[in-house]
């Protein structure tokens, strides 16, 4: 096996519907740091084998629930047998713009659809070579930056007569999202959702304030009775806690008699983790909040998984918190230093969140790099931490699966 084949990295970028709910992820592949795109020419055929095997070897759980994997396929991969390794109902094959709609290719695409695959047209531009694909596609993706807003909206109108979902790619600002939403686009993808604009400082509402207060109490090893009193002050919080304990398979032989009992059963560390999750899943009103929450939870789990071979105990728990909290500034629409004013966190956690430095910073940097469609820094950041591609990819898929199973 050559070095080129072993360096197959997976990245991901969320795709949202009109209500900003996640419908799937584009899974982004790069064979190595020198590969500037995911196009598969014949000389990279071995690489496609590695990529598809990487996915299939992770087992059926690599995609769960009703989320889809959008996977780029160029002509070589489209005509290969590798696609049969994928789960058709979970995969959307993105036919790259470099593929021409020859009779043979159209026949192959029809075969794949008959097997249960969905078909997307990536970076679509209408031409005599591409028009026939509209008859066999489920999704059409339009690159807003490449086409320009006016042309993207015009092109969307002209292909409305086909039974396709139109997805805007590279949506980078709130204003772009607004215009595209008004123009009737069905789905959206781009930096706007992963890195939304910070608009104005938002006052932390009581639910957030209570969670933050409890996190601080736990961090400072407060008395159980003080924690119990804090829980009693928030009906929604206490209800969720009891529901969590009763449903989380703690194998209890008796009912929870009190919040003190609940805290005793959970222990401070588990309670802290539960509150951490609750903080990011609390009802935020930020645009794209549900996608952000999913991203934050997935990132937290991913950071924890890639760090598990290097750090133990509290450090592993802190990695999870670093990942989950790294989007709090966007969710709360507050600068990160202001968010951290409300939280008493260990210095290494603060360093990672504010400057991406310190013990946990490199792990957070790697997680963020994996969310960037270009995946440019992934190889160098992973090698600095001595994390190989297989370890990284498994952590990616495991984190996605975990977030889905939480129902976040």
**Residue range(s) occupied by CATH 3.20.20.450 in the chain:** 3-194
Mean pLDDT of 115-132: 93
pLDDT at 229: 78
The token duo for 170 is: 């590279």
Handedness of CA 265, 271, 274, 278 (dihedral sign): positive
Residue 38: pLDDT band with limits 50, 70, 90: very low
Instruction: Return mean pLDDT, the chain.
Output: 79
Residue 360: pLDDT band with limits 50, 70, 90: very high
Q: What is the DSSP string of 98-129?
A: T----HHHHHHHHHHHHTT-EEEETT----TT
Strand partners, 166: 140
The token duo for 129 is: 């070579």
Which range (38-52, 99-113, 135-149, 373-387) has the least confidence? 38-52
pLDDT at 173: 84
Residue 300: pLDDT band with limits 50, 70, 90: confident
Q: Is the pLDDT of residue 82 over 80?
A: no
pLDDT at 55: 62
Residues of the chain with pLDDT > 90, as a percent, come to 29
Q: pLDDT tens digit string along 177-228? A: 999 999 999 999 987 766 544 444 444 555 667 787 888 888 788 888 888 7
Q: Is the pLDDT of residue 296 over 90?
A: no
The token duo for 304 is: 């924890």
- Alpha helices (H) along 7-148: 45-57, 75-78, 103-114, 144-147
Residues of the chain with pLDDT > 70, as a percent, come to 75
Q: Is the pLDDT of residue 368 over 80?
A: yes
Which range (174-183, 256-265, 279-288) has the least confidence? 279-288
Strand partners, 188: 16, 168
Residue 230: pLDDT band with limits 50, 70, 90: confident
Place of tokens 């919080």: 237
Mean pLDDT of 319-331: 83
- Asked if residues 393 and 29 have their Cβ atoms less than 8 Å apart, the reply is no
Q: Is the pLDDT of residue 48 over 70?
A: no
Q: Let me know if domain 3-194 sits in CATH 3.40.190.10.
A: no
The H or E element containing residue 289 is: helix 289-307
Q: What is the CA radius of gyration of the chain?
A: 23
Q: Is the pLDDT of residue 395 over 70?
A: yes
Strand partners, 72: 94
The token duo for 153 is: 């909206």
Handedness of CA 91, 97, 98, 104 (dihedral sign): positive
Which range (141-155, 289-303, 366-380) has the least confidence? 289-303
Q: pLDDT tens digit string along 248-260? A: 555 555 555 567 7
Residues 6+ apart with CB under 8 A from 320: 273, 276, 300, 301, 303, 304
Nearest 5°: CA angle at 190, between 187 and 194? 110
Question: What letter does residue 133 receive in the DSSP assignment?
Answer: G
pLDDT at 101: 92
- Asked if residues 237 and 263 have their Cβ atoms less than 8 Å apart, the reply is no
Task: Classify 206-405 by CATH class.
Answer: mainly alpha
Q: Is the pLDDT of residue 365 over 90?
A: yes
Q: What is the DSSP string of 5-43?
A: HH--EEEEEEEEETTS-EEEEEEEEESSTT--S----GG
Number of other residues whose CB lies within 10 A of the CB of residue 223: 9
Which range (26-30, 45-49, 82-86, 376-380) has the least confidence? 45-49
Would you call 73 helix, strand, or coil by DSSP?
strand
pLDDT at 200: 41
Query: Any idea how long the chain is?
Result: 408
Which range (58-62, 90-94, 341-345) has the least confidence? 58-62
**Ranges 117-126, 222-231, 363-372, most confident:** 117-126
**Residue range(s) occupied by CATH 1.10.3210 in the chain:** 206-405
């Amino acid at each position: 096996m050559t070095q080129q084949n072993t360096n197959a990295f997976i990245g991901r970028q969320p795709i949202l519907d009109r209500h900003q709910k996640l419908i799937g992820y584009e899974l982004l592949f790069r064979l190595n740091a020198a590969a500037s795109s995911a196009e598969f020419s014949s000389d990279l055929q071995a690489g496609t084998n590695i990529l598809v095997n990487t996915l299939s070897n992770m087992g059926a759980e690599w995609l769960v629930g009703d989320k889809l994997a959008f996977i780029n396929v160029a002509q070589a991969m489209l005509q290969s047998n590798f696609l049969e390794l994928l789960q058709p109902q979970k995969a959307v094959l993105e036919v790259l713009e470099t593929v021409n709609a020859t009779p043979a290719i159209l026949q192959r695409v029809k075969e794949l659809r008959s097997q249960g695959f969905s078909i997307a047209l990536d970076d679509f531009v209408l031409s005599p070579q591409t028009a026939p694909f509209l008859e066999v596609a489920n999704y059409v993706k339009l690159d807003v930056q490449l086409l320009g807003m006016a042309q993207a909206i015009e092109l969307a109108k002209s292909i409305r007569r086909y039974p396709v979902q139109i997805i805007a790619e590279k949506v980078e600002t709130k204003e772009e999202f607004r215009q595209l939403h008004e123009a009737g686009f069905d789905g959206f993808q781009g930096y706007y959702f992963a890195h939304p604009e910070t608009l104005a400082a938002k006052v932390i509402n009581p639910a957030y304030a209570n969670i933050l207060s409890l996190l601080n109490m736990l961090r400072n090893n407060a008395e159980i009775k003080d924690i119990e009193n804090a829980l009693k002050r928030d009906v929604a919080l206490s209800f969720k806690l009891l529901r969590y304990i009763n449903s989380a398979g703690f194998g209890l032989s008796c009912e929870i008699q009190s919040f003190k009992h609940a805290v005793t059963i959970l222990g401070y560390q588990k309670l802290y983790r539960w509150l951490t999750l609750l903080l990011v899943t609390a009802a935020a009103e930020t645009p794209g909040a549900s996608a952000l929450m999913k991203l934050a939870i997935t990132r937290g789990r991913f950071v924890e998984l890639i760090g598990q071979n290097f750090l133990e105990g509290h450090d592993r728990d802190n990695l999870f918190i670093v990942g989950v909290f790294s989007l709090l500034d966007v969710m709360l629409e507050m600068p990160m230093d202001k968010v951290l004013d409300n939280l008493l966190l260990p210095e290494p956690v603060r360093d990672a969140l504010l400057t991406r430095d310190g013990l946990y910073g490199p792990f957070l940097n790697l997680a963020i790099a994996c969310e960037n469609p270009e995946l440019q820094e992934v190889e160098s950041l992973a090698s600095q931490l001595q994390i190989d591609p297989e370890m990284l990819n498994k952590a990616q898929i495991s984190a996605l699966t975990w977030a889905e199973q939480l129902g976040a």
